[in-house]
Amino acid sequence: GPTDSRKSTFTNAIIGVIGTATVSSLPIQELDKRFQLQRLYRKRLNACGDLGAESFSRVSVFKRTTGGDILEGELKGANRPLSFVWGGKHLFDANDLPLPTGNADSEAFYNRLLLFPFPVKMSKDQIDRSYGEKLATPEERSGILNWMLDGLERLERQQGFTEVTDVSVIHEQYKRASDSVYCFVSDCC
């Protein structure tokens, strides 16, 4: 979504309930870099507030983190790798989605995504700058936790999300949001 569409407010409310001690902040573009994977160890959520527009071409580590594979993170100064299975989730915010290229532009990548649009840009006079603080109160956090638990119960009962979008539709949505040239060619040529 665009700037001022409350993406960060949503993410920060989730982090406020989960707790910062169990959250990492690693963009998808850095998952496969040396010494980065260990940052996911013992974390329940990887929430990156802004992916940035830098494209990426490798998603094998992303796919392994979402597929329950054994991960080996390299620790600085250690003589052995840190092996673990990460059971957490990724939550990425972006004004503009980064362009996947190479093997990243694949069905296996798009099959692991749920896109949540934040289409409404709020005007400066509509923005309540204290809204984040209001959501951080114990009463609001309790309500957010209850909302999350209701959603978890629904997920377990339905054995999946309410509206699972076909991978080809997610691929098209992602390509349109990340590549203006693709949009022009698709729409005008």
pLDDT digits (tens, 9 = 90+) for 42-93: 999 999 988 887 878 888 899 999 999 999 988 888 888 889 999 999 999 9
Record the tokens describing residue 107, joined without a space.
């069905």
Q: Give the predicted TM-score (pTM) of the model.
A: 0.83
Cα separation of 92 and 114, whole Å?
10
Residue 56 pairs with which residues in a beta bridge? Answer: 100
Cα separation of 35 and 163, whole Å?
37
Cα separation of 53 and 97, whole Å?
6
Cα-based torsion angle of the residue sequence 110, 119, 23, 86 in order, rounded to the nearest 10 degrees: -10
Cα separation of 184 and 123, whole Å?
28
* Percentage of residues of the chain with pLDDT beyond 90: 38
Strands 70-73, 82-85: pairing kind: antiparallel
pLDDT of residue 87: 93
Alpha helical stretches, state H, the chain: 7-18, 60-66, 107-110, 131-135, 138-158, 167-178, 180-188
pLDDT of residue 164: 62
CA distances from 57 to 103, 155, 159, 185 (A): 6, 32, 32, 22
Cα-based torsion angle of the residue sequence 84, 85, 91, 94 in order, rounded to the nearest 10 degrees: 70
Q: How far is CA 103 from its chain centroid?
A: 19
pLDDT digits (tens, 9 = 90+) for 1-39: 888 888 999 999 999 999 999 999 999 889 989 899 999
